[in-house]
Every structure is written in structure tokens, then in C-alpha cells.
């Protein structure tokens, strides 16, 4: 029987939930769901934990349409926001336990525990310890845990990922109140990076630009590992609000304009009306040109200004050639009509431009990148901190004898 993995992400706009398994390097989903939660989370911080817990609790039961079984999810891999992420490099060495000098799982756990004792900044929690490599005697290096290899000692070179304790505790409390255990945690940028490993078009080293609803992230990825992430407060909701304010439309009407028209700069022989608003009883009709002006103004005067500031912070201390790495975009914001043209104009110095989205049937929307990536991250033993405390995913199956919902 396949090993089912459940992954959950809480973003500023929705809760995303996916259940599936990995086979032949592909995530096969048996369930995926999404619920809007606007107003319950703001800029990565939970505002209404009670309502959020109730929504998540209502999502943990579903029916497998193939087997007609009702399934209850009791544990998840939780995707946390990258807001406040710090990554530290560590190297530790431990003696091998076996009298025959054969590496076993206990040796991986021992050396991980040494890394876990590293001093981290006050107010932070270790989310995970991700091995870069394992080094044995004679300088032998391994990417994966060298189980059954012979050596008297083992050295781990790893990255320690930390987040502010307050954010971590708030998210864990929401899941606890929803009566769901967290089997492992991973930050958003790491989960997306894991998804990128299985996309042949994504390079091993790149700049990851994840444009969210309220919070966006820019990360440096080297050899398919997250080196650093900088977050900034700007995203799709800011554009929606700007359109709403400028055109006198509701939030939903403004969102629909972005989805339907986006930045459409095709030459038109006439100016069609794409929206109508009323201010003080006076009707105003809006055409694509007025929408284009607002979108351009938002990117030029607001969003890209904040992106540039985050980008400069990210690049500090790195060689100049890092600036020219390929750039990989993700997030629903990047699928707006006309975004590709903006990107090609803005990022002309980057080696290439790529877009990352899941290929799993049922969740090909780019907003599901992190939860699909979390399933990948949980599918293999890598010798990480999460792996040392990982158990099989717990789901309860109840046969639906009547075949009903």
C-alpha cells in the first residue's frame, strides 16, 4: 500500500490541503481542497485562531472517490510562512556506534542532535536541519544518509532553518485546536524549492521569486538548497485594493478584472467598457487602458520598488555574478495576463526566466506549489531533523458501505 502524506498550508487568503503519495518521482493526489480565509491571517500572522481552527477541522474528513472510503487526516506536514526565516550553516562530527563501524540510523540521529544544540538567536525556533552532505573517513562524501557504509566517524554539513518562535507557536496552536498533529514543519520557500527539484526546466541554482497575496519572498537557491530568504509586505491584494480604490469597485469586482483582463496592451480600434462604477450617483465606465495604467503604476511605483529593496538585501555578501542567476517565479500573482511582459522588461539581466507550477492532476494551480513540495519533502529519508522524529502518516479509513457521501 502506498504511503499517504498529508500537507497543509495556511496563507493570507486560503487554507490549502493536499493528500497524496510519491511514485516514480511524481506526486499522485487522492484529495486536494482549498478554503478562503480572508481576514483570518494578515501578512503571515494569525488574526483569528479560533475561526481558523474550526475551518481546518472541517477539512480533515473527505471521501476517497476511488475506494469509496471516508478518510480522516490526523497528522499533516505543515507549511509555514518564510517571514523571518534565517538559515545558518553548521558542521558536526560524531563517532559511529556500531562495533563494526557500520553507519546506522542512530548515527544520523546522533550527529543531527549535535547540530540541534547549536546556539540560535533568542526568540527563534529550529524548524528543520537540512543536510548538505555526510562525510566519512577518507573524505568520502554522500548526499544521502550513508547507511551501512563503513567508517569510525561521520560528519554532517547542514543548514539550520529557524523562524520567530511567536509565529511558529501561533500556527502550531491552530493545528492543535483543530485536533491535528504536526508530523513535520517546513518553510514555504524550502517546500517550493523541493518541488523545483522535480521539474526538469528549473535550474539547480536560481533566484526564487514567490509573489503572494500580502507577503512576497525572494530567495537565493544554490544547488537546489535554500541559502537565504527575504520577505517583504506586498502582493496581489495590494493591487486588488489599488484597483478598487481607483475605480470605485468592490474587492471581488477588482479581482475579477485582474483575472479576466490583467495587463492587456494589445492595440484596440475601440475602447470597450470592462467595468462600471457609481460615485455619488454618477456612472463611470472603465476601459482596458484605465486598468493598464493602474497596474503599471502599482508595479513601477510600489511592488518592484519593494522587490528591489529585498533583492539588494539578499545579494549583500555574495559575488556580483549571483545577480545574473536565472529567476524562477511562482505564486498566483505571476499568472496575471501581461505579467510575463513586465518580467522580461524588469529582469533583462537574469540568465533566464522560468515559471514553476505543480504537474499533479487536480492541483496544477501555482498556488499549490508549497503543499505539493511539502509532500515531496516528506516522501524520502534524508537524515534531516524532521526525519529523526518522523512516523508514518496517520489516516483513518472507514468503508462507506452505502457508497454515499
Residue 397 is predicted with a pLDDT of: 52
Task: Give the helix/strand (H/E) hosting 50.
Answer: helix 49-59
Q: Which grid coordinates belong to 211?
A: 509573489
Residue 360's CB is within 10 A of a number of other CB atoms, namely 19
Place of cell 458501505: 401
Residue 390 is predicted with a pLDDT of: 58
Q: Which residues pair with 88 in a beta bridge?
A: 160
The tally of CA atoms less than 13 A away on the side-chain side of residue 169 is 6
Phi, psi for 397 (deg, rounded to 5): -110, 135
Can you say whether the dihedral through the CA atoms of 310, 312, 318, 324 is positive or negative?
A: positive
The CA-to-CA distance between both ends of the chain, in Å, stands at: 24
Residue 387 is predicted with a pLDDT of: 84
Q: What domains are defined for the chain?
A: 5-83+167-196+365-399 (3.30.420.40), 86-165 (3.30.1490.110), 200-355 (3.30.420.40)
Residue 404 is predicted with a pLDDT of: 38
* Class of residue 277 by CB neighbours under 10 A (exposed 0-12, middle 13-18, buried 19+): middle
User: For strand 5-10 and strand 75-80, is the pairing parallel, antiparallel, or unpaired?
Assistant: parallel
Q: Which grid coordinates belong to 33?
A: 481542497
Q: How far is CA 249 from CA 1, 69, 257, 302, in A?
A: 52, 45, 10, 21
Can you say whether the dihedral through the CA atoms of 189, 230, 383, 138 is positive or negative?
A: positive
Residue 247 is predicted with a pLDDT of: 95
Q: Are 33 and 387 in contact (CB under 8 A)?
A: no
Residue 288 is predicted with a pLDDT of: 92
Residue 401 is predicted with a pLDDT of: 46
Query: Could you list the mean pLDDT of each consecutive 10-residue stretch along the chain, which spans 405 residues?
Result: 87 94 92 93 94 96 82 94 95 97 96 92 92 97 96 97 96 97 95 96 97 95 96 95 95 95 86 88 91 96 97 94 96 92 95 93 85 94 80 48 40
CA–CA gap between residue 328 and residue 312 (Å, rounded): 17
Strand order in the sheet with 153-164: 86-95, 153-164, 124-136, 141-142
Q: Are 284 and 249 in contact (CB under 8 A)?
A: no
Q: Are 328 and 250 in contact (CB under 8 A)?
A: no
CA–CA gap between residue 307 and residue 337 (Å, rounded): 20
Amino acid at each position: 500500500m502506498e504511503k499517504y502524506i498529508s500537507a497543509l498550508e495556511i496563507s493570507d487568503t486560503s487554507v490549502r490541503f493536499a493528500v497524496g503519495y510519491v511514485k516514480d518521482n511524481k506526486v499522485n493526489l487522492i484529495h486536494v481542497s482549498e478554503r478562503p480565509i480572508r481576514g483570518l491571517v494578515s501578512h503571515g500572522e494569525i488574526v483569528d485562531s479560533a475561526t481558523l481552527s474550526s475551518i481546518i477541522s472541517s477539512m480533515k474528513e473527505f471521501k476517497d472517490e476511488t475506494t469509496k472510503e471516508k478518510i480522516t487526516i490526523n497528522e499533516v506536514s505543515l507549511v509555514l510562512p518564510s517571514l523571518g526565516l534565517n538559515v545558518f550553516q553548521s558542521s558536526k562530527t560524531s563517532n559511529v556506534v556500531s562495533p563494526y563501524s557500520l553507519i546506522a540510523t542512530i548515527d544520523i540521529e546522533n550527529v543531527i542532535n549535535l547540530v540541534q544544540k547549536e546556539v540560535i538567536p533568542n526568540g527563534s525556533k529550529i524548524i528543520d536541519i537540512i543536510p548538505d552532505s555526510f562525510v566519512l573517513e577518507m573524505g568520502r562524501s554522500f548526499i544521502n544518509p550513508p547507511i551501512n557504509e563503513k567508517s569510525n566517524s561521520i560528519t554532517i554539513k547542514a543548514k539550520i532553518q529557524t523562524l520567530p518562535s511567536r509565529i511558529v507557536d501561533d500556527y502550531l496552536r491552530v493545528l492543535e485546536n483543530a485536533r491535528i498533529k504536526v508530523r513535520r514543519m517546513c518553510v514555504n520557500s524550502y517546500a517550493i524549492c523541493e518541488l523545483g527539484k522535480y521539474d526538469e526546466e528549473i535550474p539547480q541554482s536560481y533566484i526564487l521569486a514567490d509573489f503572494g497575496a500580502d507577503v512576497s519572498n525572494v530567495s537565493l537557491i544554490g544547488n537546489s538548497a535554500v541559502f537565504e530568504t527575504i520577505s517583504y509586505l506586498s502582493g496581489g491584494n495590494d493591487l486588488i485594493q489599488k484597483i478598487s480604490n481607483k475605480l470605485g469597485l468592490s474587492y471581488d469586482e477588482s479581482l475579477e478584472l485582474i483575472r479576466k483582463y490583467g495587463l492587456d496592451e494589445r492595440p484596440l480600434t475601440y475602447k470597450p467598457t470592462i467595468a462600471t462604477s457609481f460615485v455619488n450617483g454618477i456612472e463611470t465606465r472603465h476601459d482596458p487602458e484605465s486598468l493598464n495604467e493602474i497596474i503599471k503604476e502599482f508595479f513601477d511605483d510600489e511592488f518592484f520598488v519593494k522587490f528591489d529593496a529585498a533583492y539588494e538585501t539578499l545579494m549583500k555578501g555574495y559575488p556580483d555574478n549571483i545577480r545574473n542567476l536565472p529567476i524562477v517565479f511562482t505564486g498566483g500573482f505571476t499568472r496575471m495576463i501581461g505579467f510575463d511582459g513586465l518580467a522580461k522588461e524588469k529582469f533583462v539581466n537574469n540568465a533566464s526566466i522560468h515559471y514553476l507550477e505543480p504537474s499533479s492532476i487536480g492541483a496544477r494551480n501555482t498556488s499549490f506549489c508549497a503543499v505539493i513540495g511539502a509532500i515531496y519533502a516528506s516522501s524520502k529519508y534524508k537524515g534531516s531533523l524532521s526525519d529523526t522524529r518522523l512516523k508514518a502518516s496517520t489516516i483513518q479509513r472507514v468503508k462507506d458501505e452505502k457508497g454515499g457521501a
